[in-house]
Every structure is written in C-alpha cells, then in structure tokens.
Amino acid sequence: MIHYSENITPDSFSGALFAVEGIKDACTILNGPTGCKFYHSAIADSQFLRTPTFNPLEYTEGFYFGQSRIPSTYLDGEDYVFGSGEKIAKILRAAVRKNPGLVAIINSPGAALIGDDLDRFLAEEVGDIPAFALENTGFSGSFGSGYQKAIIRALDALRRRAPPLPAGADTVAGPGAARSGGRPKTVNILGLCIYQKHYAQNLSVLKRLLEISGVGLNAAPGAGDSAASLSGIGKADLNVALYPEYSLEIAEKLKAEYGTPYIVPEEGPPIGFDAAESFIRGICRELGGDRHPALEEIERARARAYLYLSRFSSLLGLPRGTLFSVKAEASVAYAVTKWLCAYLGMIPASVSVLPGGDASFIQKLGTFLAGIRCGKALEAPIIETPAHILLADGNTIAELKLYGQRFCGIEIALPSLGYIDIAGKTFFGGDGALFLLEQILNGLRYVMV
C-alpha cells in the first residue's frame, strides 16, 4: 500500500533553499514558479525570525508577494520558451538594495531546463557581494544532498571574497592547536538546519555544554550564523558532523581546504543521557581535554528523571514494555531507539529511516535491533504498525490519526501540525531528555491509563 505522507518528504530542492535561508543575512532568490515559493518562505520565516516585526505591506513589491523571504521570479510559460533573464536582473537589483551579506540564486527543477546564464547575471548585478548560483540542486535527491550542496557553494563564495591570509600564516593545525586567527579549542557544528524541529535551542544547549567544558563554538553553518561568521569557518580546531546525513560532505571539504579534522558522534546526535555524555566525551577527547564538567549537568538531569520515572512506574511498570515507532534520519533514529529501549525499556514496533540515511548508522541501527530481537521493526510499515508512542513529523502523525489509531504523537521533525513554539525547547542534552520523557509519560497517561 502506498501512503500519501511518504510522497511529501522534502527533497534536495527544499534542502538547498533552507540551507541558504539559515544564513542570517543571506538573500535566497528562487528562480521558478510562484507555487514553489510560498511554503518555503513561510517555513523559513516561522523557524528563523530575522526581524522583530513583520508588516506584509513592506513586501508588496514584485517578487516578494507579501512575504519577507525567498523572492521569486514567478516563471510562466513564456519564460520557459524565451528565458527569464530580464526577471533575474530585476530581482537581483531589488535584492542588492537590501544590503545582504550573501546572494544565492537557486533554480527550481523546471527552471534548470531553461539554461539561463545565472553566473553572468550575478557578475553584472551584485558587485562585491559574495554570491553563487545553484542551477541544479539534484533532481529528486535527498534533503541532505541539496542542503550540503548549497552550504558548500555558500562557503566557496564567501572564501573567494575573504581577505587573504598574512604571508606565512599556517592554515593547517592539529587538534587542540589554535588555527591562524582562531581561538584555541573551538569547534564547528555541522549539519544543523532551520528546517529541524527546535534547531535554535538545540544549538544553544550544545554551545552551553561545550563552553562549560572549555570548548568554544566557532560556527554552525545553516543554523543562524551570518555570512561574516561563516567566513571564519576554517579557524576551528575540530568539525563535528552532528547529523552525518547533512554534514559529511561539508566536513570532508573543510578537511581538504583547511586541514581541519572532523568526528561523527559515535552515538549520534546527543538525544538521551548516554548519547549526550558520549557527545561531550568524544569532543573533549579529540581536543586533548580531560575536563568534563558538562557531564555533571547531564547527571543532574538524569537524577531528576529518576524521581518522576520511579513514581510513574510504581503501579503499572510503564513505560517499560510499551510499543513505540520512530521516523527520522538514520542517526536520529538510532539515538532515539537506543535511548528508549536501553533507558526506558520500551519496545520498537517500527523504525522508519528517511531517504539518504547515513550507511554507518543504518548498520548500527540494524545491529542494535537484531541484538534485542526486534530486527523486523526496520521492515514494519510505520503507517500500518500500531504503537503507543509515535515520534515522527506532523504529517505522519496526522495520517495515523486519520486511520483511527490510538497513540501519542510526538513531533520531532517538520512538517509540523502547526503548534506555535514560543518557549525554548530542545531534544539535546539533559534538558532534551527530560523534555522527551515528559511527553512520553504524559502521552502514556492518555493512551494506557
């Protein structure tokens, strides 16, 4: 059976748009039909608020259509025949007037067939502003492939316009050494994206845990940094491929260009107490440090979890033995599945990995599930497999609700059901573990008690 939610997974086109929109002062120009613009612009603005207020009347000019993000060339039939050059030139002039730190033109899949010389228009219209064109994001490729392609092109554009290093400056240094112009013991966090649920608070938690361990955050491309900040991405001592699905290509590029080593957290993103501790230990080990004060904060959160978990479990033994399903990237699915099974004693009913999953984490996930005799969970369709707790995107949760299943849905990814998050929330570190535990325990009260 084919289920509709499987056909609306964001692809490489969306990945490229959200990658550039995650740069604080970048202007992302969509060369394509108007219909390709509205969803991406609305989500970018709701996820990453660049301005304190919004007045649609300030964006009545052509190309914006009342939205503050992602101006579009609104291609029509004639443009596909005669080219869209005139519209591209006009939209670039409008973008330059807003003084962006970076300009990117991204073709929709259909616009890629026209063949307009986008680089020529950039050269003629944007002046000294760093800029690049992405003519083809990769037809029907994964979200991660488009995201990485756009981030790499953005870093290339910024590097071309960066001032040259002083003569004799060393651009290659080992772990723990200060790079030219950089601070000692700093890292770049790679793979965060504004399309991820609670990305901003996730980054804030990582920054705090690293700082109290004596490690500074240099840059996090695609997660709110400015173009100027990303220009110094080569100054870090270590790159952390937080989500390998969205960062391995970027990490390899930075290693080749700057000699910066990188690591992939062994337990995946720091979701759950054990994965959060492993994340901190792994970075400190690579940077030659032996101080782990962040572990004390995680341990305090673990102690708080015990107080509530022990009381909740005292009568029925829950959540041990309850069924859960998860739909996420391979690295996230592994971290979530291992935490729920090993810490809470829950049983995986279905584990669905999104397209473009990291091969090493797919293997780890399969090995773990086989080790607890739940290997069939990887093959069980998430829509057709009953569970008490479902951790997935809003569309998948909505579809199961339409089928009349009784369960608690926990949004861990977009698209969203529309809940407006005002208070900061996170999935990472001790705070994130407590947040997920709170939703699971309250959900089980609704489903089973």
- Among 100, 126, 142, where does a domain finish? 142
Q: Which of 143, 197, 195 is nearest to 412 (CA)?
A: 197
Distance (Å, whole) CA 151 – CA 162? 16
The Cα–Cα gap between 165 and 168 comes to 8
Instruction: Give the Cα separation of 259 and 236 in Å (integer).
Output: 10
- Whether residue 138 contacts residue 106, with contact meaning beta carbons closer than 8 Å, is answered with no
* CA separation for the pair 51, 405 (Å, rounded): 41
Tokens encoding 77 = 């039939």
Retrieve residue 228's tokens: 């100027």
Instruction: Report the pLDDT value the prediction gives residue 181, as an integer from 0 to 100.
Output: 47
The DSSP bridge partners found for residue 30 are 72, 106
Question: What are the 10-residue block averages of pLDDT along the chain, 449 residues in total?
Answer: 64 97 97 92 92 71 85 87 86 92 94 87 94 90 96 96 52 43 79 98 97 95 97 97 98 98 98 97 89 89 96 92 97 98 98 95 98 97 95 94 91 94 95 98 86
pLDDT of residue 77: 81
Residue 262 included in any domain: no
CA-only gyration radius of the chain, Å: 23
Residue 253 lies in a domain: no
Q: Is residue 278 part of a domain?
A: no
3-class secondary-structure state, position 135: coil
264/364 Cα distance (integer angstroms): 13
How is residue 196 annotated by DSSP?
S
The token pair at 174 is: 């080992």
Q: Report pLDDT digits (tens) over 267-294.
A: 999 999 999 999 999 999 999 876 678 9
C-alpha span between 219 and 199 (Å, rounded): 14
Segment 339-362, tens digit of pLDDT = 999 999 999 999 999 999 999 999
Q: Which runs of E-coded beta strand occur in 287-431?
A: 323-328, 347-353, 389-393, 408-413
259 assigned to some structural domain: no
Beta strands, E only, 88-228: 102-107, 131-134, 186-190, 216-219
Nearest to 382 by CA among 357, 412, 349: 349
Supply the CATH number for residue 310's domain.
Answer: 3.40.50.1980
8 A C-beta contact, residue 24 and residue 50: yes
Whether 168 is in a domain gets the answer: no
CA 130 to chain CA centroid, nearest Å = 23
Determine the Cα–Cα distance for residues 197 and 375; give it in Å rounded to an integer: 28
Residue ending a domain, among 91, 108, 142, is 142
Q: Is residue 66 in a domain?
A: yes
Q: How many domains is the chain built from?
A: 2
How is the chain split among helix, strand and coil, in percent rounded to 5?
45, 15, 40
Looking at 300-367, which runs of residues are DSSP E strands? 323-328, 347-353
The domain containing residue 77 runs over which residues? 8-142
CA 208 to chain centre: 19
Q: Which of 142, 173, 189 is the last residue of a domain?
A: 142
Which of 89, 88, 56 minimizes the C-alpha distance to 74? Answer: 88
**412 domain-assigned:** yes
Residue 39 falls within a domain, yes or no? yes
Residue 223: DSSP 8-state: T
Backbone angles phi and psi of 148, in degrees to 5: -70, -40
